[in-house]
């Protein structure tokens, strides 16, 4: 299969030295890219800023902002059989990026933010993607319900939900505990190293892709 994986945070500049971002390290997405490559698939990893080493045998496309990630996915998605969106894309970016360092003149500072495009939400609706589509859901409450909502709204075959309020898993951790939310049922994967979870997730996606091919 040809597989696209998004990973890492995005970084949204406020001025030449400051940015908005989040705590995603890229570990989950890189572990998935590695597991797909080891299973013999052709992988394109579209990653926001991360200090991780690019896994062997994986094509790498580094990006910085949500808009850049959107453009990269839009350009490459058409030739993919499966796509997994593990990136934590910043939902908002600065309405205007100041070309000078913002001065700390007042006691408060107001920033105007605008929505970033929803890359996963564009896959079916705007990019016309017909392959196996897998989203992630980073939730702090109503894990299964919210993930199932995302699955339905964004036309996914699977949403991998993680409870990011639990300490020691999720963002910037080597470990994760996920709930695989399919259209008709859900399946828990108990806490483990991201590198151990990834090959199991790959097998689920191989199964989904094979099912899709026969329908
Ligand atoms: O990188 P790590 O430190 O290993 O951490 C892993 C992780 C917690 C970041 C990862 O497991 C995870 O949950 N990634 C998704 C985080 C997220 O942004 O979730 P969300 O519920 O806000 O977004 C839902 C889905 O839409 C995700 O697949 C996301 O990639 C996608 N999305 C969101 C916003 C946007 N503008 N474009 C998108 O494609």
* Distance of alpha carbon 156 from alpha carbon 130, whole angstroms: 10
Active site residue 146: no
Q: In which element (H, E) is residue 186 found?
A: strand 186-193
Q: What is the CA radius of gyration of the chain?
A: 17
- Report the pLDDT averaged over residues 106-133: 97
- 87 C-alpha to ligand 1 centroid (Å): 5
Q: Is 141 exposed, middle or buried (0-12, 13-18, 19+ CB in 10 A)?
A: exposed
Alpha helices in the chain (DSSP H): 27-38, 66-76, 119-125, 143-154, 194-214
**What is the pLDDT at residue 122?**
98
Residue 214 has pLDDT above 90, yes or no: no
Report pLDDT digits (tens) over 138-153.
999 999 999 999 999 9
Residue 90 CB–ligand 1 contact under 6 Å = no
Domain ranges of the chain: 2-91+109-214
Residue 26 CB–ligand 1 contact under 6 Å = yes
For the chain, give the mean pLDDT. 97
Q: Which two tokens stand for residue 207?
A: 């199964």
Residue 24 has pLDDT above 90, yes or no: yes
Residue 213 has pLDDT above 90, yes or no: no
Mutual orientation of helices 194-214 and 27-38 as an angle, nearest 10°?
60
Q: How many CA atoms lie within 13 A of 20 on its CB side?
A: 19
- CATH superfamily, domain at 2-91+109-214: CoaB-like (3.40.50.10300)
Report pLDDT digits (tens) over 123-178.
999 999 999 999 999 999 999 999 999 999 999 999 999 999 999 999 999 999 99
Q: In which element (H, E) is residue 59 found?
A: strand 58-62
* Distance of alpha carbon 200 from alpha carbon 107, whole angstroms: 51
CA dihedral of residues 52, 74, 36, 147 (deg, nearest 10) = 90
Q: Which two tokens stand for residue 16?
A: 């030449």
- 151 C-alpha to ligand 1 centroid (Å): 13
Residue 44 CB–ligand 1 contact under 6 Å = no
- 10 C-alpha to ligand 1 centroid (Å): 10
**What is the pLDDT at residue 32?**
98
pLDDT category at 215 given cuts 50, 70, 90 is confident
* Distance of alpha carbon 161 from alpha carbon 126, whole angstroms: 24
């Amino acid at each position: 299969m040809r597989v696209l994986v998004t990973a890492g945070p995005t970084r949204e500049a406020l001025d030449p030295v400051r940015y908005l971002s989040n705590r995603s390290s890229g570990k989950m997405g890189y572990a998935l890219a590695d597991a797909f490559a080891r299973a013999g698939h052709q992988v394109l990893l579209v990653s926001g800023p991360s200090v991780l080493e690019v896994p062997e045998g994986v094509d790498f496309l580094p990006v910085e902002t949500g808009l850049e990630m959107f453009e990269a996915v839009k350009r490459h998605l058409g030739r993919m059989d499966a796509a997994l969106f593990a990136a934590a894309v910043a939902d908002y970016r600065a309405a205007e990026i100041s070309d000078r360092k913002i001065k700390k003149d007042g006691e408060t500072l107001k920033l105007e933010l605008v929505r970033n495009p929803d890359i996963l939400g564009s896959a079916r609706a705007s990019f016309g993607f017909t392959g196996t589509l897998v989203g992630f859901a980073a939730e702090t409450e109503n894990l299964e319900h919210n993930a199932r909502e995302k699955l339905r709204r964004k036309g996914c075959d699977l949403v991998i939900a993680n409870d990011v309020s639990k300490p020691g898993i999720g963002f910037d951790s080597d470990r994760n505990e996920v709930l695989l939310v399919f259209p008709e049922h859900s399946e828990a994967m108990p806490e483990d190293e991201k590198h151990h979870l990834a090959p199991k997730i790959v097998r689920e996606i191989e199964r989904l892709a094979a099912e899709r091919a026969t329908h």
